[in-house]
Structure 1
């Protein structure tokens, strides 16, 4: 019997000349030249001001050196393309979209990943060490025993880690679902309690949401409202009990385990020396304050400039503190506990946002990620499966209590670490 020949592969869409023209004009904008208003559409300018764009462009130039070129790598449609931005000391992947209507203004420009051009893991380590403030990192191979460190710097030093603390909440959810105490489809009913900003902040009392959705939002987009709902649903004490179980060396430093709104209130409400009294109290006193005074304070009292002014706030005292080695062990625990059928849901949640540039993620079979940042604090933590099946964890933290951090540079260094670590 004759076989029907397979259809030829679909041809890649051709970029419209107007799209290529806008790509050719982009270097001038990235150097602080060109006409911003005549390049970007009104909708884009409403989201990103010229001042914000110029500040980010200057940060890229300061982090990666002179801009060398901008080139199209792939057209997704006549009006949408993937591009590569090359600097002297690194490169970025981005997407650009142009309005089909004349004068073909740019409606979207999104940086999807940054990576350095360091030649070795040792060079990455040197450049991490050269950043202002303090840094630490760990790269480890994971197997049947304890994680095996491949490279590290200050792996046992605790750092403020920002939203990477949400991995511990995720671990308690995995424990509870694996044990049969809960299921990923269990429903949570919102009770009208105060929530920080996020997707559930304005949801009415009585709204129901699954644990799966809350976990996905907490990890993939770092939704703070989803985080606090999970913290209170799963129970603070149970999450604290996970700290030694997942391998945290000094669990006492993270007790009581703060929710995001609690941290924001302690950092952002100056009246009556709230933070000072909290820090002076013992663990029992702190728990009492969280349940009473802190819970009762309205979120409206948090100063509006908190985190927006770029100034670090008590990052050495009021934070979540884990070492690079702690975070490696947490990722290893999650890996081990996602191998059973019930735990497999975890890998879907953890891989929604890979955290690193697509070309780097493509060097691995699977990438799981959670990071965290605020002024003076940054962390990136990765769980990586090689194409041959072996597992690795990579994590890095950067703290400076005196000044804001150059986040793009840090992202590029950690991305390059992940790229160089790929077998």
Structure 2
């Protein structure tokens, strides 16, 4: 339910080559980085290790958005995910004043975009970590690292076809894990079913009724605001917008979403009933009186509690500080639960039900945020993704089409009830697995 703060994966789109009937034009000369740009780049090793003159290196506008304390916090996140800084490996200039860097850390390699102002004292105007790739060189090594992480982990790489998914690699594939925002795939699946069946259209408008919503882009929208199902689904999947999620769940209907659980092949659908919205989970996790009553109730009692006291409890009662503290909160009892094999079947259902022109909207929604670094994403013809996280929980599932047309799913989960998990490290491992799993 929370984002990985320092990762902003971007999809590298390849343009198909055209048949040539005339000699190709001479290749463009490589872009030459300005000397002052290279001078700034050469200061990065100190800056990335928390040294150097931060104020002198970064432009005023950058420092207004990223104060030194925030920059230092990001460096700590990177260190937790990738280990200590090792080397500044390569600069690829895009213009004389911007480019992409390869930065080596002990456990991962980072792709970093950098922009420097072409005038004045040439300070840095942009610095963005686009992705971390683990250093493991083989799928066996990735799996060994995943198995060695604290807490519990599960992992599946599956090939999809006309029949059941074929599990090529697996570890704890049938163990249930808390999956965070990956539950939103079930809501997307119900929307796909409804639009395929003619019950709804992607352009249908939803009118907001002014009900209180969890954090997201629609929280402050006034009653009467109209938004399409397509936009809500896009925000729910691509940036995991919780307000869009709860609007969609209410619009589509909790019971219809629950009915999709066995259809999708989720082995234990009862564990996810009632199917909770994000606001409901926030309330239950942070308000002990509600949590304790909910956990001892049967399904009917839980539904009554959700419709009554939970619905009546204002979101202002949620203690958001409990999440920011980084301590796992009831992740073994108050969550959405699926196995890695369940998530393979969910993605396979989505694949099969989005074939042809009618599936274009859903596939566009699922692929807007590929979830893995550009180098890994570029090795595939299509990348659909949904992840989820909160303290103690990290999960990532990818629907992948090879450039030969074959389909695969890569799904991994990590839970620890006692301590938080290293999201960046996990994301780097999954990204590396996706890169290594692609056909050469």
Quick check: 1:161 aligned with 2:211?
Answer: no
Deviation per residue, 1:205-249 (Å, 9 max, x gap): 111111111111111111111111100000000000001101100
In 2: Cα distance, 1:66 partner to 1:211 partner: 44
Q: Which of 34, 38, 42 lines up with 1:20 in the alignment?
A: 38
Quick check: 1:244 aligned with 2:281?
Answer: no
Which position in structure 1 is the counterpart of 2:432? 416
- Which stretch has the larger CA shift, 15-24 or 188-197? 15-24
Which position in structure 1 is the counterpart of 2:228? 210
Q: What secondary structure does 1:387 align onto?
A: coil
Change (3 A) 1:201 1:11: farther
Q: How does 1:346-361 map to 2 (within 5 A)?
A: 346-361=362-377
Which position in structure 2 is the counterpart of 1:364? 380
Which position in structure 2 is the counterpart of 1:34? 52
Query: How much has 1:283 moved relative to structure 2?
Result: 0.8
- Which stretch has the larger CA shift, 407-416 or 94-103? 94-103
Change (3 A) 1:192 1:58: closer
Quick check: 1:287 aligned with 2:303?
Answer: yes
- Which stretch has the larger CA shift, 52-61 or 339-348? 52-61
In 2: Cα distance, 1:65 partner to 1:165 partner: 31
Q: How does 1:36-75 map to 2 (within 5 A)?
A: 36-75=54-93
In 2: Cα distance, 1:164 partner to 1:39 partner: 39
Which position in structure 2 is the counterpart of 1:266? 284
Q: Which of 147, 151, 156 lines up with 1:129 in the alignment?
A: 147
Change (3 A) 1:162 1:62: closer
Quick check: 1:324 aligned with 2:340?
Answer: yes
TM-score, reference length from structure 2: 0.91
Which position in structure 1 is the counterpart of 2:314? 298
Q: For the Cα contact (< 8 Å) 2:85–2:105, is it kept in 1? A: yes
Q: Which of 111, 114, 117 lines up with 2:135 in the alignment?
A: 117
Q: CA RMSD in A?
A: 1.9
Where in structure 1 are there 5+ consecutive unaligned residues? Answer: none
In 1: Cα distance, 2:304 partner to 2:125 partner: 51
- Which stretch has the larger CA shift, 348-357 or 15-24? 15-24
Q: Which of 376, 380, 400 lines up with 1:384 in the alignment?
A: 400
Where in structure 2 are there 5+ consecutive unaligned residues? Answer: 1-20
Q: For the Cα contact (< 8 Å) 2:81–2:423, is it kept in 1? A: no
Query: How much has 1:12 moved relative to structure 2?
Result: 5.6
How many residues end up aligned between the 2 structures? 419
In 2: Cα distance, 1:78 partner to 1:276 partner: 60
In 2: Cα distance, 1:355 partner to 1:52 partner: 23
- Structure 1 residue ranges, 4+ long, deviating more than 4 angstroms after superposition: 3-13
Change (3 A) 1:328 1:107: same
Which position in structure 1 is the counterpart of 2:391? 375
Change (3 A) 1:58 1:202: closer
In 1: Cα distance, 2:102 partner to 2:283 partner: 41
Q: For the Cα contact (< 8 Å) 1:23–1:72, is it kept in 2? A: no
TM-score, reference length from structure 1: 0.94
Q: What secondary structure does 2:310 align onto?
A: helix
In 1: Cα distance, 2:303 partner to 2:60 partner: 49
In 1: Cα distance, 2:61 partner to 2:33 partner: 22
Query: How much has 1:314 moved relative to structure 2?
Result: 0.9
Deviation per residue, 1:17-56 (Å, 9 max, x gap): 3322222111111122212222223333343343343343
